[in-house]
Amino acid sequence: MKYKIDIARIRENSIVLNGWVVGREPKAKAEFNVLDGAQQPVEFKYVPVKRDDVSQIYFKQVLDKDFGFDIRIPYIREDNEDRYLVITCDGKTSKVKLNASIIEKQNLSIHKKHLKLKGMMNMQTFSSAWDFWKENGFRAFVLKSRHKLQGIDSDYDYPEWYNMTKTTEEELEAQRQEIFDYNPKLSVVIPAFKTPERFLAAMLDSLIAQTYTNWEVCIADGSPKGESVERVLKRYALKDERIRYVILGENKGIAGNTNAAIDMAKGDFIVLADHDDTLAPDALYECVKAINSDPEIDVVYTDEDKLDMDGGELFEPHFKPDFNPHLLTSVNYICHLFVVNHELLMEVGGFREEFDGAQDYDFIFRCTEKARKIYHVPKALYHWRCHQDSTASNPESKLYAFEAGTRAIKAHYDRMGIEYESVEKGVDYGIYHTKFKIHGEPLVSVIIPNKDHTADLDLCMRSLIEKATYKNLEFIVVENNSTDQETFEYYEKIQKEFDFVHVVKWEREFNYSAINNYGVTFAKGEYLLFLNNDTELINPESIEEMLGFCQQDEVGVTGVRLLYSDDTIQHAGVVVGFGGIAGHTFIGLHKAESSYFNRAMCAQNYNAVTAACMMSKRSLFDQVGGFTEELAIAFNDIDYCMKIRELGKLVVYAPYALFYHYESKSRGLEDTPEKVARFNEEIKKFADRWPEILKNGDPYYNPNLTLRKSNFALRDLRKEKIGEPYKLEV
């Protein structure tokens, strides 16, 4: 049985319910009863309603049957007595509690959704939609529209979610009373420039409200003469001796003004903040708590969100991963709040004016390169004010910032000894795509298991042979118990046509791990590319995109972006914990749609990628013993990546390495009791091998985001409590 109450409202002295019910078969009949708080029957009126939309969705045709309902229940608000709607269908029964507060809450939610939808109805939206339709086609437009509407229909508005998760007054009071073993002095450095007085006052008020009190504020005002904010600064400095400032009398640029503020600092750690933003009251406390957890922590950063112009509402939270070096070279995802050990700052130097506009990006690179340890606090503790001139609101208003960002990335590569061909604009301003220099022309061994399906195999190999710009490839096709004579005839033909194609025979039962391990024994390449036979190359430079990362010393594995045949995402990295074990990110999103902070189009680190198309160093493959053969069917690729991670090596998702994946045509589904039992057994084996990450969470994800969907939506507070491990459902 499936049902939904679309509308619940109180009209005069009645509760009015509109919705639908279906069973497994169209003929299944729904029955309704209403009970009062004492579980006694209540009279009600029921009118059947024809719902062709429900019929079409669940039974693929319009049927002459009333799946909908209109129910009216007598209700006197003053009685404040609960009512219960009891729905029975297909032998199943559900009881739905109804009272005024529940119904009014639902109506408020519906009202919010209407406001969101109304807010989208403007010429800019229509123009953008039309451009997307022209560029990507009608199907992609429909898909994107559906995802937009699903976003409107999400479980929570962010302000509502934030209010449910923010630190309580009792917790804030407990923080004020807490005494740390180490109480570092924090110097909050703020460059001011023609700051609206109310914005600066809001920032200072948020600092005065901090539960951790050993701090100072160092403000350097670079406003032109006659436009300084000295009046506000003087007023606050008289109230609180921790607030200090200097009037520069001239604009020394963003870097120069910030350095002037840093020069005033006497603290053990430096905290970077902008003049028009605000901090949550526990921001500094959480940073000091992190610093106390390990004496080697030199850098701390937090999550953030945006604050509207008037400071009345929070929106667009950015819940970040733990330190992710390759994501940092794609976008300055760290940004705010950023805290750095004062000694480290003195070692790497202050802000550099040649990077003005991306001076913080360059500074973050230099600090994270030298930091002993970097700690991420997964809480939105910094509120970034969004107004017309801020890059939060209007990226093109500071286009020069993104050009400076390119220079910051290149300077980082130069310091790290990483050779690159170019650093280009990615999918948006502030998103970068690096093409790395390939050292030499190393042999790449492509390992492809195959059972029959020669048309798929031929398409897979020829797409690489004919379209790929990288040519030093060999193919090891692992023949896995094919039965069609045509398959063996194809093997003979393809090996005669290309002397770098080799077919080897696997004559035991199917075991994905063992088959690939066997194939590797025949490989001569320095790099291994594990590839499913139902894939097809899209971007001709995909091998170079993978090699560019895989050649880096600290990288052990590179994964790719995989699309279904309809150009929606099949794989854009793996999060350990999705669905209880592990799953792909952004499944079903169209390739042209925007993902969560453009993550689908950013090179970045994950703990794992899929071996449907995965490159690894041969030396590391041998070092970890290849794929774990006890995992014959599932999670063997995730397990392999985890073993590489245990060596201290990184796994990189490379979005510009792009393939189609026609999704496991060869092996079929887990559709028998035996296969399901084997699959569940492998879930248990994986969980036994990697209990810590399943318990503590994937560090490249964020505990505020859901494990039940692949779109990085907010965690469902009714089903997934923050800070508690996700219960594995086997």
Pair of tokens at residue 129:
């939609």
User: How far separated are the first and last CA of the chain, in Å rounded?
Assistant: 23
Alpha helices for 397-497 (secondary structure H): 399-416, 454-462, 485-497
Average pLDDT over residues 563-589: 92
Question: Residue 303's pLDDT band (boundaries 50, 70, 90)?
Answer: very high
Paired strand residues for 17:
8, 71
What residue has token string 């004579």? 485
- Summarize pLDDT for 670-708 with one digit per residue, the tens: 556 776 787 788 889 999 999 999 999 999 999 999 998
CA 90/CA 184 separation, integer angstroms: 65
What CA–CA distances, in Å, run from 149 to 141, 146, 717? 12, 5, 21
Lowest-confidence region among 144-148, 496-500, 554-558, 623-627 = 144-148
Across the chain, what does the average pLDDT equal? 88
In the 8-state DSSP scheme, what is residue 211? Answer: S
Average pLDDT over residues 428-444: 95
Average pLDDT over residues 66-70: 88
Pair of tokens at residue 385:
């004010």
Neighbours of 125 (CB within 10 A): 12
Q: Long-range contacts of range 235-239, CB-CB < 8 Å, 24 or more positions apart? A: 236/201, 236/204, 236/208
Task: Using DSSP bridges, classify how beta strands 186-192 and 215-221 pair: parallel, antiparallel or unpaired.
Answer: parallel
Question: Residue 151's pLDDT band (boundaries 50, 70, 90)?
Answer: low
Question: Residue 5's pLDDT band (boundaries 50, 70, 90)?
Answer: confident
Lowest-confidence region among 9-13, 28-32, 199-203 = 9-13
CATH of domain 2-105: 2.60.40.10
Question: What is the predicted pLDDT for the residue at 716?
Answer: 82
Pair of tokens at residue 180:
């740390």
Question: What is the predicted pLDDT for the residue at 726?
Answer: 45
Residues 6+ away with beta carbon under 8 Å from 177: none
Task: Using DSSP bridges, classify how beta strands 574-576 and 278-279 pair: parallel, antiparallel or unpaired.
Answer: unpaired
Average pLDDT over residues 471-491: 96
Question: What is the predicted pLDDT for the residue at 725?
Answer: 46
Question: What is the predicted pLDDT for the residue at 665?
Answer: 40
Sequence ranges of the chain with CATH classification 3.90.550.10: 171-415, 444-696
Helix (H) / strand (E) containing 691: helix 691-696
Sequence ranges of the chain with CATH classification 2.60.40.10: 2-105
Q: What does the chain come to in residues? A: 730
Q: Please state the CATH superfamily assignment of the domain spanning residues 444-696 in this structure.
A: Spore Coat Polysaccharide Biosynthesis Protein SpsA; Chain A (3.90.550.10)
What CA–CA distances, in Å, run from 231 to 85, 235, 245, 524, 536? 63, 6, 11, 73, 65
User: In a 3-state reduction of DSSP, which class is residue 290?
Assistant: helix
Instruction: Give me the CATH topology for the region 171-415.
Output: Spore Coat Polysaccharide Biosynthesis Protein SpsA; Chain A (3.90.550)
Global pTM reads 0.79
Question: Residue 170's pLDDT band (boundaries 50, 70, 90)?
Answer: very high
Q: By C-alpha distance, which of 604, 595, 548 is closest to 573?
A: 604
Question: Residue 668's pLDDT band (boundaries 50, 70, 90)?
Answer: very low
Q: By C-alpha distance, which of 383, 406, 619 is closest to 520?
A: 619
| C-beta of residue 207 within 8 angstroms of C-beta of residue 217 | yes
User: In a 3-state reduction of DSSP, which class is residue 241?
Assistant: coil
Q: By C-alpha distance, which of 378, 376, 345 is closest to 363?
A: 345
